[in-house]
């Protein structure tokens, strides 16, 4: 393919087949009648998309310095939030001057997605009460695939979807409770992706791999709760006592509240497991097992009480 692409650029000729697109009209409103009520979605060949990405990398380095600094659309890492922040800053700064006024005119006829998933499903003969079908027709509202449906994304670029979902999970777990349209769109994509265990398994693997890069920086962090609160993360993971080993085994399978101390400890343990998996000669003495014994009832009660207290304190402190 490298030879074909270079030959195309050298001859300044793009094969007609590469430029051929399948245009699919998608209704913007439930009762679309005239042509303006439809959005034309062009499906181009994978070869052309690949060539576009390769050329884009060279174009960005050549024209990057000439881009308008106030261009917020179609730029990586910049979006609507940046435009709103800039607008409000300019307006409020001007209003601080005595006797000043501000008039804002916004042309938003094409600013928002108006395609309704349900009419699309009905048009295709599907069940509008099926949440999976409805979510599959939701459109991505950001990034390089803006305007494509969730179903299209998981069918054409799973790697991008996995990276996006892993990043979004970290945002939510870090305490980001934003309900902006962008975050709501990502939440919807997460809900749709949960219908496919293979995708979510890939997300967990991606996060485990990323977490293992910095997991050893948490070695000296104190557990800080439960019957083993005085131990460090590393000493707990490397302990050979039966009680601690059983506790670690149980924690590997425990469902944790994102952002809690328990979740942080579990993430560390899974990250260390990932490191061991990359070096088979250093496998942990007690690998995860579905038949592992659970901690004693007394230990679980003490841990649960401490965990709930810690979680409540964290929330109050945050507020």
Model confidence pLDDT, tens digit, residues 198-214:
888 888 877 776 655 56
Answer whether residue 55 shows pLDDT above 70: yes
Residue-level pLDDT at 85? 86
Asked if residues 233 and 221 have their Cβ atoms less than 8 Å apart, the reply is: yes
Residue, of 164 and 115, whose pLDDT is higher? 164
Residue-level pLDDT at 303? 52
DSSP 8-state symbol, 296: P
Answer whether residue 317 shows pLDDT above 60: no
Tell which residue, 266, 141, 139, has the closest CA to residue 204: 266
At 305, the pLDDT band (50, 70, 90 cuts) reads: very low
Residue-level pLDDT at 224? 80
Residue-level pLDDT at 284? 46
DSSP 8-state symbol, 42: E
How far apart (Å, rounded) are the C-alpha atoms in residues 75 and 66?
13
Residue-level pLDDT at 165? 92
Tell which residue, 158, 165, 204, has the closest CA to residue 187: 165
Tell which residue, 136, 210, 199, 216, has the closest CA to residue 167: 210
Residue, of 300 and 263, whose pLDDT is higher? 263
Residue-level pLDDT at 108? 57
* pTM as predicted: 0.37
Please tell me whether residue 70 adopts helix, strand or coil conformation: coil
Residue-level pLDDT at 47? 86
Residue-level pLDDT at 26? 79
For 11-20, 25-34, 41-50, which range has the lowest pLDDT when averaged over its residues? 25-34
Asked if residues 283 and 273 have their Cβ atoms less than 8 Å apart, the reply is: no
pLDDT in tens, 99-158: 999 988 776 555 555 555 666 666 666 666 676 777 888 888 888 888 888 989 998 888
Residue-level pLDDT at 63? 80
How far apart (Å, rounded) are the C-alpha atoms in residues 114 and 110?
9
Beta strands in the chain (DSSP E): 22-27, 38-43
For 17-26, 79-88, 118-127, 132-141, which range has the lowest pLDDT when averaged over its residues? 118-127
Average of per-residue pLDDT values in the chain: 76
pLDDT in tens, 239-254: 988 888 998 898 888 8
Q: Which residue has the tokens 């009480």?
A: 305
Asked if residues 188 and 135 have their Cβ atoms less than 8 Å apart, the reply is: yes
Exposure letters 246-273 (e unless 16+ CB within 10 A, then b)? bbbbbbeeeeeeebbbbbbbbbbbbbbb
Answer whether residue 221 shows pLDDT above 60: yes
Answer whether residue 188 shows pLDDT above 80: yes
Answer whether residue 268 shows pLDDT above 60: yes
Alpha carbons within 13 angstroms on the beta-carbon side of residue 318 total 12
Tokens of 36: 């303006």
Segment 154-177 shows an average pLDDT of: 85
% of residues, the chain, pLDDT over 70: 75
Residue-level pLDDT at 287? 47
Residue-level pLDDT at 126? 67
Residue-level pLDDT at 95? 92
How far apart (Å, rounded) are the C-alpha atoms in residues 145 and 143?
6
Asked if residues 285 and 244 have their Cβ atoms less than 8 Å apart, the reply is: no
Residue-level pLDDT at 314? 31
DSSP 8-state symbol, 92: H
Q: Which residue has the tokens 């109050």?
A: 316
CA dihedral angle for residue 305, residue 309, residue 311, residue 312, rounded to 10 degrees: 140
Residue-level pLDDT at 119? 64
Q: Which residue has the tokens 């005595």?
A: 98
Asked if residues 265 and 251 have their Cβ atoms less than 8 Å apart, the reply is: yes
How far apart (Å, rounded) are the C-alpha atoms in residues 88 and 93?
8
How far apart (Å, rounded) are the C-alpha atoms in residues 108 and 164?
27
């Amino acid at each position: 393919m490298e030879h074909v692409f270079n030959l195309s650029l050298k001859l300044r000729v793009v094969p007609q087949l590469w430029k051929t697109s399948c245009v699919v009209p998608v209704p913007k409103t439930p009762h679309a009648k005239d042509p303006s009520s439809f959005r034309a979605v062009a499906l181009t060949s994978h070869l052309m998309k690949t060539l576009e990405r390769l050329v884009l990398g060279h174009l960005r380095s050549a024209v990057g310095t000439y881009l308008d600094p106030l261009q917020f659309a179609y730029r990586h890492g910049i979006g609507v939030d940046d435009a709103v922040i800039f607008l409000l800053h300019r307006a409020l700064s001007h209003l601080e001057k005595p006797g000043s006024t501000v008039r804002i005119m916004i042309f938003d006829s094409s600013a928002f997605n108006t395609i309704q998933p349900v009419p699309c499903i009905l048009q295709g003969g599907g069940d509008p009460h099926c949440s999976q079908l409805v979510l599959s027709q939701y459109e991505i509202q950001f990034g390089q695939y803006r305007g494509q449906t969730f179903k299209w994304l998981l069918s054409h670029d799973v790697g991008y979807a996995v990276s996006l979902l892993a990043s979004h999970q970290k945002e939510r777990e870090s305490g980001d409770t934003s309900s902006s349209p962008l975050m709501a769109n990502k939440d919807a994509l997460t809900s749709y992706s949960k219908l496919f265990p293979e995708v979510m398994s890939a997300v967990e693997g991606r996060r485990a791999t990323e977490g293992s890069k910095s997991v050893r920086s948490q070695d000296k962090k104190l557990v800080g709760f439960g019957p083993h609160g005085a131990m460090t993360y590393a000493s707990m993971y490397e302990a050979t006592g039966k009680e601690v080993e059983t506790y670690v085994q149980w924690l590997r399978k425990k469902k944790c509240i994102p952002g809690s101390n328990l979740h942080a400890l579990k993430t560390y343990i899974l990250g260390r497991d990932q490191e061991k998996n990359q070096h088979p000669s250093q496998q942990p003495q007690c690998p995860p097992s579905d038949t592992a014994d659970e901690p004693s009832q007394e230990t679980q009660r003490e841990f649960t009480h401490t965990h709930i207290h810690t979680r409540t304190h964290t929330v109050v402190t945050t507020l």
